[in-house]
Structure 1
Amino acid sequence: MARFNASDLEPGQVESKDNGERLGRSAGGHLVQLRRRVSEPGFVVTVDAEPSKGAPTELLTHEWAAANAAFDRFMRQH
């Protein structure tokens, strides 16, 4: 995959790296990232939105399926 600038992403657009990490722009225009953790095994999913009740902005997990589900949910919710 060619390098891209996260600011170039349109709402709803997702880019994936060869290692499975994902970067997207949510429907609301927020940056959503799924990446592998460096300090210990697992994955982290984050969104650059303000935290609100019932809508977390970060998930730490050891499970790939949970990380992908959180990424998709953040893309819809934010």
Structure 2
Amino acid sequence: MAKQPRHIRVKGNDYLRLYDDKGDYSKDFDIPFMSRKDIEESIKELEAVDLMEVIVRDGVKYFRMLEPKTKDVPFNVLNK
């Protein structure tokens, strides 16, 4: 299987790989002080409040961070 690109552009939006070739989080998303479970939970929370978008292209997950659509969503939503 060919190596998947680290960065893709879809409909004018840039996305970065979520996982590297070994299945670990890519250096673009790795958070050293958080466990894998905590990172996965954070991804779900960010997606739930529309602050992160994850897409799958050719079986590989890519992500991009989003700005809040309204001022009703605080950027520090994970610090509850």
TM-score norm. by structure 2 comes to 0.34
Point out the structure with the larger helix share: 1
TM-score norm. by structure 1 comes to 0.35
